Amino acid sequence: MTHEMRPKLLLIDGHSMAFRAFFALPVENFTTTTGVATNAVYGFVSMLISLIKEENPTHVCVAFDAPGPTFRTEQYPEYKGTREKTPEDFKHQIPLIAEVLHAMGITTLEKPVIEADDILATLASQGSEAGMDVLVCSGDRDTLQLVTQHVTVLYPRRGVSDLARMTPQAVREKYGVAPVNYPDIAALVGETSDNLPGVPGVGPKTAAKWITQFGDLDNLLAHADDIKGKVGESLRAHLQDVRRNRRLNRLLTDVELPAAVTDVTRKPWDRPELDRLFESLQFRTLRDRLNTIAVAGDDAPAQASGAAIGAQIVDNESISLAQWLGEEAAPFGLAIDGRGTPVNADAWSVAVGRADGEAVVVNLEESDPDQDASLRAWLADPAAPKVTHGIKWIDHALAARGMTLAGVTFDTELAEYLSRPDQRSYDLASIVETHLHVTIDSVDESGQGALDFDDGGANVGLASQSVAIARLAAQQGAQLADAHESALLADLELPVAEMLARMERAGVSVDIDLLRGLDEDFAATAAQCAQEAYDVIGHTVNLGSPKQLQEVLFGELDMPKTKKIKTGYTTDAAALAELFAKTQHPFLEHLLAYRDATKLRQTVQGLLKAVAADGKIHTTFQQTVAATGRLSSTEPNLQNIPVRTQAGRAIRRAFVAGSDFETLVTADYSQIEMRIMAHLSGDDALIEAFRSGEDLHNFVGSRVFGVSVDAVTPAMRSKIKAMSYGLAYGLSAFGLSKQLNIEVSEARSLMADYFERFGAVRDYLHRVVEEARQTGYTETILGRRRYLPDLNSDNRQRREMAERMALNAPIQGSAADIIKVAMLQVDRAINDLGIHSRVLLQIHDELVVEVAPGETEQVTKILREQMGSAASLSVPLDVSVGVGHSWFDAGH
């Protein structure tokens, strides 16, 4: 059998490589929107994809350590005894890795009492005897004893991406002995990670010299008396340790396994299951990488090409564009090549495509006047149906060319968001691949624009996108109809997107001088707090350095340790706030004040950078980020402006009415989430609380604590407020105890008393989870769904996370729907009156309106009426309104 014809067996130590991935990738960068850590899964699967692509193995198996003791710990209880407790964020990821491997058709093995390395050693031996080339991927150096001419160890040098190819020659060059003798060296030197102490004073070079001299460990130990000097004395004093080490580091090659090496062939992938898993884990990039690999028994993936969609570009110079656009009654797909932000938008080319594959591409910089006029008229015609992908982006890009966009009846990005609200991104290429099972040319990170098209240039790629968008609409439309979400797209999300585009272009005026003054004030405050912190400890320290803070807090000041992390003990804000609550140490007090001032200054500096040439800030509202349906904003994030401290609220003074306007009016909902809770639960006592006109938390507190409303203390009210809102977010007794700094037993008792008075709330919370477990989703008042497949997961952490989401999704999502309805109703009412005021911002449950001279009374009335009638609940929607020149002054 020639080398080229030999089958190739890839063996992977599952726990070893997953653990390396866990520490190689920061967990804070790899956590789903539902709070599930995925860094180990991502790193492991990324490494696996690279190995399969580079090595193209015919057989693959991943071995895991089984839980519980091993035969080595039975022989030596201290074995691996110094290893730290497995991080909680890591534990739940092993079952997730196993799920991905199962969907990829890759065999996984584990065996009680036996370690993964022994399984790998057994399979490597079988594979070598069966005429295979074997690759063993492991971070355990004990596997080096397996290396032969046909067995290579892939040993990670850094993370899981940089793998050293340990052949017989490589092992000899690094350790000075043949692979078969590597465990002899390890027995002499010891292995710290396994808690196997070696011979004191003997390092790898001395050990290699002895093994070379005596041939192997047994012969060396038989001639231990011949070793002179202190090292000889040390060896003779630790002979039993060496023999024990060698006994324990010998890998078994005859383990009885449920699968033989011939059973671990690569199998076809379960692509639907992989899609489901990767959507749940939010691994869009990895899914794209997987699709570049051909699998045994499966067709090779389609190559990216504009022609894959079947686009046929019509020569627009030989036709009448107006006539061509009028030939088809079905909606056309509309794709734009350009860029689009509120202040930096442009459209270079426009592609209009039909589902039958024909497309026209118009270069806006070179089109003749007739074509330009026809295109403009069609774009602005509300009776000409169009489908977009990212309507707001397209609106900006066309507006920059003086073009009006109307008649958009469907948007594939928003439709996908409604169908799959937990996705991290909604780029066109991925959606096309998911629904149409074909690929198109690459697009930029926002899912728009044409880049690097190989087949016919940018026009082919842009044409392909427009055709794909037209075809997608039919499939996605049917999907939305099945879920009863068609009206959500047509009557809510599309009009909201169009309104947000206008709000973004309008921007909000700012007082730049005031912002600069705040920047200086916060800088001075931070400097003063830093100096006060230095005075406490008697020297300077970099307050932004976690390492130096650890030395001060847990070394110099000997404070109680916080949560253990890879680099020591955490110094994040939550941990230090909790530490200060325990110790009341003045250094922590000044440190926390320094951090607050620094954070506020960073917020101000971000706002200053965002001021455009027109003196306004044009934030970008994100409509497809929050799975609950809420809007967010970015560049800058205006929803992140602090409101709980006087210093934070001062930043809102910088947001002012523009020069052509008289004032700002703000309006927001009071306790909207609790009102939705009352409506959804139908709890008579909670409904009475809102209808009574009393303060909600005092009213509820009086019922729970059995006192009059006037006798409810601030402490009682605080507990009830935390309880009421916490229940809507699935807060446990433990979580409530942490939040209120009380015993878990007291928190549990408090919850029991609450539910005794408000039993329908308890029943609703149980009911919503169980119904979601049966149907697979929750629904808002308007029918917005959130799919929660993890409600039936075998993984406890994923299941409990999904249960918490099932509790809050209907409430948060309904609040999001209501404020969107309110936005649209307020906007329509302003337009119907023909006045010049306009909605500028939507921040959480608040609308900010810029009011033209003489229109304050009208706008105030509109806000109260339209926001108050945005939903029909069993309790009134209470709207608070404020007026002032600045956002701060208009607060209420």
Nearest to 197 by CA among 72, 70, 78, 75: 78
Does residue 451 register a pLDDT over 60?
A: no
Q: How far apart are CA 640 and CA 106, in angstroms?
A: 45
- Report pLDDT for 3: 46
Mean pLDDT of the chain: 87
pLDDT above 60 (res 441): no
**How remote is the C-alpha of 876 from its chain's centroid?**
36
Q: Using an 8 Å Cβ cutoff, are 610 and 580 in contact?
A: no
- Mean pLDDT (whole number) for 435-457: 47
Residue 34 reports pLDDT greater than 70: no
The string of DSSP codes covering 538-565 is: TS---TT-HHHHHIIIIIIS-PPP--EE
Q: What angle do CA 215, 217, 223 make, to 5 degrees?
A: 80
Query: Which one is predicted more confidently, 318 or 748?
Result: 748
pLDDT of residue 565: 77
State the Cα–Cα distance between residues 476 and 788, nearest whole angstrom: 20
Condensed to tens digits (0 to 9), the pLDDT of residues 787-796 reads 888 888 777 7
Tell me the backbone φ, ψ of residue 410, rounded to 5 degrees. -160, 145
531, amino acid identity: Q
The mean pLDDT value for 594-608 works out to 94
The string of DSSP letters for 833-847 reads HT---EEEEEETTEE
How far, in Å, CA of 477 to CA of 387, rounded?
A: 11
Mean pLDDT of 227-250: 88
- Residue range 636-644: mean pLDDT, rounded: 86
Q: What is the pLDDT of residue 318?
A: 67
The C-alpha atoms of residue 594 and residue 526 are separated, in whole angstroms, by: 5
- pLDDT, one tens digit per residue, over 398-413 is 999 999 999 999 999 9
pLDDT of 435 above 90: no
Cα–Cα distance for residue pair 892/882, rounded to 1 Å: 5
pLDDT of 650-663, one tens digit each? 999 999 999 999 99
Share of the chain above pLDDT 70, in %: 93
pLDDT for 376 = 94
Contact yes or no for 125/253 (Cβ under 8 A): yes
pLDDT at 428 over 80: yes
Confidence of residue 735 (pLDDT cuts 50, 70, 90): confident
Query: pLDDT: is 419 or 644 the higher one?
Result: 419
Per-residue pLDDT reduced to its tens digit, 129-177: 999 999 999 988 999 999 999 999 999 877 677 788 999 999 999 899 9
Task: Name residue 313's amino acid.
Answer: I
Q: Is the pLDDT of residue 446 over 60?
A: no
Is residue 448 predicted with pLDDT exceeding 50?
Answer: no
Does residue 286 contact residue 269 with C-beta atoms inside 8 Å? Answer: no
pLDDT tens-place string over residues 289-338: 776 665 544 443 333 333 356 567 877 666 788 888 888 888 999 999 98
Q: How far apart are CA 182 and CA 191, in angstroms?
A: 12
Is a pLDDT exceeding 90 seen at residue 89?
no
Angle between helices 39-55 and 93-103 (to 10 degrees): 30
Length of the chain: 892
Question: How high is the pLDDT of residue 442?
Answer: 39
The predicted structure's pLDDT at residue 468: 92
Q: Which of 20-29, 218-227, 358-367, 492-501 has maximum average pLDDT?
A: 492-501
**pLDDT (0 to 100) of residue 4:** 55
pLDDT at 703: 85
For residue 646, is pLDDT > 70?
Answer: yes
Whole-prediction pTM: 0.70
Phi, psi of 417 (to 5 degrees): -60, -40
* pLDDT for the residue numbered 288: 66
- Strand, helix or coil for residue 70: strand
Average pLDDT over residues 860-878: 96
The token pair at 389 is: 């992908």
Q: How far apart are the first and last CA of the chain?
A: 83
Q: Longest Cα pair distance anywhere in the chain, in angstroms?
A: 105
pLDDT band of 709, cuts 50, 70, 90: confident
Q: CA 648 → CA 197, 544, 594, 654, distances in Å?
A: 56, 21, 14, 11
Beta strands 133-137 and 8-13: pairing type? parallel
Cβ atoms of 723 and 739 within 8 Å: the answer is no
Asked if 191 and 140 count as a contact pair (C-beta separation under 8 A), the reply is no
DSSP lists the bridge partners of residue 156 as 163
Domains of the chain, earliest start first: 3-171+251-263 (3.40.50.1010), 306-507 (3.30.420.10), 514-617 (1.20.1060.10), 673-813 (1.10.150.20)
pLDDT of residue 449: 34
Tell me 136's DSSP state: E
pLDDT at position 281 is: 82
305 contacts 453 by C-beta, under 8 angstroms: no
> Which neighbouring-strand residues pair with 450?
443
Q: Give the pLDDT confidence score for residue 294 in this predicted structure.
A: 55
Q: 158, exposed or middle or buried, with CB in 10 Å at 0-12, 13-18, 19+?
A: exposed
